[in-house]
Structures are given as structure tokens and as C-alpha cells.
Amino acid sequence: MLGRALLRGYEHRFSKLGRDGTAKGNIEVISGGLVHGIAYRIEREQLERLAELEGGYRLIELEIECADAPVAAQSFCALRSVAGLTPSPEYVEHYRVGALEHNLPVAYVQNILAGFIAD
């Protein structure tokens, strides 16, 4: 794991239609956007296996910031974005727990999960 990372010029959305009919996470280009996340270093074989398992995404090249330094990276982006989808409660909980585990900014996490978690 490389650690916490920032991706500028994108926004996190739940706009990828999952096989189960619920929303899955996606990043979409948007001027002024900012995505907080975690960067991992994985082997090519692991990336290929992940691509197989995920489905419905394309691999994109981008630049992220880790420890305030630019890093070349790859991420998955939905082949097709769909507005108005809702993630399952279990998926939202998965996001919430991961964000807490990696100490992502609370306001950011609350913003992306707004409307999907009980108050």
C-alpha cells in the first residue's frame, strides 16, 4: 500500500450498475473535482485478475498525489455511467468502514455517502 492519495479533476459517484442491480463506486471527470482514496501497488497479474472480477470497468491512466508528490497510477472507470442508482446498505457500510480504517477526511466521506446512510 502506498497510502492515502488525492485524485484531482474527478469526482466519486455511485454511478456504475452492478451485476446485482445496485450502484457501485465510480470516478467521473469533473472540473475542480477531488477524490480522496488509498493507493496500492499491485502486480500486473493481480490487476488483470481484479479486472476480470470487477467487470464493467475500463482501466485508465492518471496521476494522483501521494504524500504531496505526483505518482503515475491506474484506476478503473465505469464503461457506462448511470445516474440515479442506489448502492446496497452493505456496500455503503463497506465504504464507511474502509474510509474510517484509512482515516479519510470525515467531511468527504459524509459527502459521498450522504443520503445512503442512516443518521
Grid cell, residue 63, equals 496521476
Percent of the chain with pLDDT over 70: 98
Pairwise CA distance, residues 68 & 54, whole Å = 30
pLDDT in tens, 8-63: 999 999 999 998 999 999 999 999 999 999 999 999 999 989 988 888 999 999 99
What's the full length of the chain, in residues?
Answer: 119
Pairwise CA distance, residues 55 & 116, whole Å = 24
DSSP symbols for 7-47: EEEEEEEEEEE-TTSSEEEEEEEEEEEEEEEEE----HHHH
The mean predicted confidence, pLDDT, of the chain is 93
pLDDT in tens, 50-62: 988 888 999 999 9
Instruction: Indicate the Cα dihedral angle 61, 96, 66, 42, nearest 10°.
Output: -60
**What pTM value is reported for the model?**
0.89
- Other CB atoms within a 10 A radius of the CB of residue 63 amount to 11
Pairwise CA distance, residues 77 & 72, whole Å = 16
Q: Does domain 3-113 have CATH number 2.60.120.640?
A: no
Contact present, 116 and 93 (Cβ < 8 Å): no
Pairwise CA distance, residues 115 & 2, whole Å = 31
pLDDT, residue 118, reads: 66
